[in-house]
Structure 1
């Protein structure tokens, strides 16, 4: 008999973790909603007075639930479940809920117990000016087939809006991942090119030699009054009259790599700090993780670009750093300062999370304090 450790680390276990690593809880929630709605449909199908039209509608609802169950059963398809399968399953689940609701056309008064939850779903997603929402808000009980149809139309519109909200979150995550990947490739490309041609655009400075006895040592043998300082090397006594020759003698293939690594580490600290401002999400799309990953290559590039601006004299009084330690220190500052650029993306990401209604992502208050309804049950949207 295999030991517990052997069972835990089999290839099948690894594949299972890989497929369920992001949305296992949401998949289980979807399965629970499917079972709950199947029970409601089965109970309704057992009513002897049910019309043939209602039975046909409930049969179609069963088909939708079967489709949703196949999607969240990972062995039944080959798509990696990274969030899109949850959305697809909920699309079928919503369709089944609508069909179940339409089965009450012959007995509309039986919908009244479900009216508060359905009305909450409509209010949660439809704007105040929507006429379908207005018609549902006025309902206090259901007594006619016309009212059931109006309620069904409003719920279907709310489901459509909820789907678009989740699609925007998915699209935002994909865009951020693409931009982060492009910036990472750009940072790697800069590191490779500067390692091959380290003298092309060096990150070196030429501070004037100090006559202060407490400052850097001077060399009477040097024909020039400056030193050469690079991220991982210095020359206190340049021997050529040509500045480019002196810098080329000190610069190495690792200068850019060191600066980029320092900027990436500083950006990682900034990302960890920024996460305290980001609320979580109940969707299967990791918006906070995507935003954090975007900061890493951005920090590596801003560290390099900041030092190049200083070398070009863009910052008055800081055009010539005195030591490698100062260069590294400014690389940390510039790497962390990517927050100045990515904070706008962070705000947009939080807006996307706020737009996706759910208990972990509070909706934006568009009706004034105290007028928002609680989030509806997943079955109802």
Structure 2
């Protein structure tokens, strides 16, 4: 079976595969702010994602001309490229001939390209979820109990919404990404969402998914799994904590405290999310920090294992995706192209390498995750 020496002949196959993946986008990738382009980046490289900032408020003073004001410095988030991955596809001449017609080969190749892109997207999904829940502000819910388990009770929406409201998160473009257990309860217990006369939409009834509930865009992710807590016991504060503190000083105690652990302090019920392990006698919690003054000897309790479902403002999490780095002058690829998904903005780099009596295709991408505002992320504990 003859094959082209370039990728031009399989461009339709590539776009068919990309369209398949974009229609099944996982929960986190479409929910976060994306900075994606075809520029190249290497692992460890920092890319700067700009954030628009308006000028400070000013008094209105009538006059012939408007005030000479409004200049502002753009904000930005620096994101380190942490992964550079490729999904390989290898065909020998014998394998191509064994499948028969070129139509069958192209159909199989489309499935392989779709699977490769899917694996890249799934890897980004897990990285986004892990970075987000380990950087979250506070949590709502009960460890070991999947949310939305009580019929007609939507207080789980209200609980995480209150955290975001109190933290000053934007009301528009809020996202909620659920794991399988929470989504099963939403589909099986909350009949108000799929009664068309009450919900105003048949999406949940027909598709098992709804668009927005209480101002959250609803999404489902297979990348959400159980967080296993640290082994720490007996820790207590070694210094008083003031409202707004994010660095918590500790003494005594044994074992580990991990990023993502749910911690509470004696005398208060707020569930804070540890953003770091204990190092140098302290650990950090997500912004805006402590909501109440804590005494210097208050005991610290580490919560149980739990499933971190997430509620957040889109702008709180950034995914930076780039084409992987190449040496000057390129490498041994016979051809290389980049295809960009108009839905997600993600750009997949596809290369072809001609080898001895076989051909290797490669779908590649480099990416990193940043969390510029942990205050705008709340964990729905399950």
TM-score bin (small chain) = under 0.3
> Whose strand fraction is larger, Structure 1's or Structure 2's?
2
Q: Which has the larger radius of gyration?
A: 1
Which structure has the higher relative contact order (CA within 8 Å, separation 6+)?
A: 2
TM-score by length of 1: 0.25
> Whose helix fraction is larger, Structure 1's or Structure 2's?
1
TM-score by length of 2: 0.25
